[in-house]
Amino acid sequence: MAPTDETGQAAQKSSASGTTPPVRPPVGGAGANGRMPRWLPRAMVLALALVAVFQLGSWAFHQLTGLLINILIAFFLALAIEPAVSWMASRGMRRGFAAFVVFIGVMVVSAGFVTLLGSVLADQIIKLIEGFPEYLDSVINWINTHFKTDLKRVDIQEGLLRSDWLRNYVQNSATGVLDVSAQVIGGLFQLLTIALFSFYFAADGPRLRRAICSVLPPARQAEVLRAWEIAVNKTGGYIYSRGLMALISGVAHFVLLQALDVPYAPVLAVWVGLVSQFIPTIGTYLAGALPMLIAFTVDPWYALWVLIFVVIYQQFENYVLQPKLTSKTVDIHPAVAFGSVIAGTALLGAVGALIAIPAIATLQAFLGAYVRRYDVTDDPRVHGHHRRGEGAGLITRARGLWTRRPGAERPGGGAADGNSGESTS
């Protein structure tokens, strides 16, 4: 006789009496009164760890956004000077020294431009301050003549000096000097960071490409090198074509300003050339505003002549000069260029506006090398025309609807409905 335990006897008794025996919870599981599953604590720890890593990464990204933007600017600047550095290196010059020479040239030109422009602005401000009393007297005389008042410049000056508005403005300006100084120091540090990264990218370009390709399979290495070459060609071509157009624009505006005898014609010509070419979308208007203002101080009609010349030259540049110079470098549609500038501004501000066009040109060239294209059929609809005999015009459709109207007569004199041919008895 097989031994039976108490559980078996209880089960037999409960089954005999018609009741269901209690079910034991499975081993390792969690019943109604059981323990927590073994996998749940690990899942909770893993979820908390993922959330912590995400928060840490988000915090680090926001903290390093400025540095990442500086590195992006430095990378595009290095791509822009890469052709010049490579050309010098191919002539036997060390690559680091070639990059140093190019950077020194860029810094000298930039410093000279800023110095000349600053001297022009300072001189104009000094002249404005010196001539302000005479201008104020003329305004006061005009008001007294037309409005029958008795204003005096001395009373106005005393009222301004004793006003609370001037006192508050002076106090705010004094406290804002520290903020301006901090911004200037921060801007200089940012320029130094961009210059250092650009120099390293340009001088160690081959080593950087070798380091990137060393962690990729051979097929991916070819793709990376191809993308790098396209980026160098497009970015360098954009900078050099814009530089050439800036030179032509500067010479043309210098001839005009010199003919009108506008002061500081060379500096204003350089301003117009650089600003109109390297500031997208609104650069033309910013470039023409300063020479118009200075020409207005000489003669108001001179400002009108400058405005007319700026508008005419802009049309010549858009439809004649720019297509010829950029057809082999950054040949992108104007609508695409405008949209890329808006998108770059929304993402990175002024920096995005500056690098948007070479970036979209690089992307377009890279995609164009891999997107398969087909021959377009010689269909008139491709050019926006309809086939002959296909589709009736608006007048023809209206005439057809009118002739189908019940009771309407056909052009031959018969009725338009189907019972017109039947004889009536």
| DSSP per residue, 395-419 | HHHHHHHHHTSTTPBPTTSSBSSGG
Contact 404, 416 (CB under 8 A): yes
Instruction: Considering only residues 122 and 201, tell me which one the structure prediction assigns the higher pLDDT.
Output: 201
Mean pLDDT value of segment 96-106: 88
Angle at Cα 385 formed by Cα 379 and Cα 391, nearest 5°?
95
Residue 56 has pLDDT above 90, yes or no: yes
Mean pLDDT value of segment 221-241: 81
Instruction: Considering only residues 255 and 12, tell me which one the structure prediction assigns the higher pLDDT.
Output: 255
Residue 341 has pLDDT above 50, yes or no: yes
- DSSP at 94: -
Mean pLDDT value of segment 38-54: 90
**Cβ-proximal residues to 109 (8 Å cutoff; 6+ apart), any chain:** none
What pLDDT does 205 receive? Answer: 83
Contact 298, 260 (CB under 8 A): yes
Please, which pLDDT band fits residue 425 given cuts at 50, 70 and 90? Answer: very low
Mean pLDDT value of segment 47-68: 91
Mean pLDDT value of segment 15-24: 51
Distance CA 239, CA 77 (A): 9
Alpha helices in 299-393 (DSSP H): 300-316, 322-326, 334-348, 350-368
> Worst-scoring range by mean pLDDT, 95-99, 202-206, 273-277, 345-349?
345-349
Residue with tokens 């609508």: 335
Mean pLDDT value of segment 11-28: 51
Confirm whether pTM is higher than 0.75. no
Please, which pLDDT band fits residue 129 given cuts at 50, 70 and 90? Answer: confident
What pLDDT does 188 receive? Answer: 83
Angle at Cα 95 formed by Cα 91 and Cα 101, nearest 5°?
90
Distance CA 300, CA 253 (A): 18
